[in-house]
Amino acid sequence: GGADVRIVYSPMQALETARENPDKEVVFCGIGFETTTPGSAVLIKSAAEKNIGNLSILGAHKTMKPAMSALLESGTAIDGYICPGHVSVITGMGMYRELCNEYPIACTVTGFEAEEILVGILSLVRSIQNGGDPVQNAYPRVVREEGNPKARSLVAEVFEPSDAFWRGLGSIKGSGLAVRREYETFDAYERFGLEVEEGVEPKGCRCGEVLRGVCTPAECPLFGNRCVPGDPVGACMVSSEGSCAAWYNYS
């Protein structure tokens, strides 16, 4: 019993699986932000061009700017953002310039190594304290001002903005990506009549507030007691990248 669930390292592996198994429905779970969305767009376009009729995508892609705006609109005390390097490879710097024109904040794009993060923090603090250009690129060896216009164009051809639910923030208008009507035959939600229920936080869990910076992990009543890395209650304790897991392991 059970489903046939496979790990793939590229969306195109799902296309090959569909071609090799024409009698089975193959559903690709498309998740992630601007970094991974182009791969899902390529998958859908390729399936359409090759007339692969047994492939669809269960999309859960999200976009950064609406969520960044929602955090600022929620009243959270934010002076600036450390912005993700890999997302910025696709978006370029324009997204952050728009944000800084709309709100009195600063944005600095950083890499992922310790030194790159420290340089990014220093750049951000200087922007906030000294004024000047509020948008800084501290990851210039990878991120370009224009980003990747070709990838963005491909995503815009296949997907359109939709409302999406975010942990701790609720539904944010236009922060998700839905498959456009022209490609809806490859949309698993349409093909199988699926509806996604909004998740409910476990009782007492303050993960959403931790993510918004409203409280520290240690201020959650479950932290370190009922909620530990080996037996997590909330999502923030699940992986090594989770805020609560990092606090638990290194504080």
* DSSP designation for 93: S
The tokens for 161 are 């903005």
CB 66 within 8 A of CB 173: yes
Query: Please, which pLDDT band fits residue 228 given cuts at 50, 70 and 90?
Result: very high
pTM of the model: 0.90
- Closest by alpha carbon to 207, among 247, 172, 250, 161? 247
pLDDT at 250 over 70: yes
- Taking residues 48-52, report their average pLDDT: 97
Structural domains for the chain: 11-63+150-192 (3.40.50.11740), 64-137 (3.40.50.11750), 207-250 (no CATH)
What is the average pLDDT value for the chain, to the nearest integer?
Answer: 94
What tens digit of pLDDT does each residue of 69-125 get? 999 998 788 999 999 999 999 999 999 999 999 999 999 999 999 999 999 999 999
User: Residue 143: exposed, middle, or buried by beta-carbon count in 10 A (0-12, 13-18, 19+)?
Assistant: buried
pLDDT score at 1: 63
Amino acid at position 204, single letter: G
Q: For residue 30, what are the β-bridge partners?
A: 59
What tens digit of pLDDT does each residue of 162-210 get? 999 988 788 999 999 999 999 999 999 999 999 888 777 789 999 989 9
CA–CA distance from 249 to each of 177, 223, 226, 229, 240 (Å)? 35, 12, 15, 9, 9
The string of DSSP letters for 103-119 reads SS-EEEEE-SSHHHHHH
pLDDT score at 2: 72
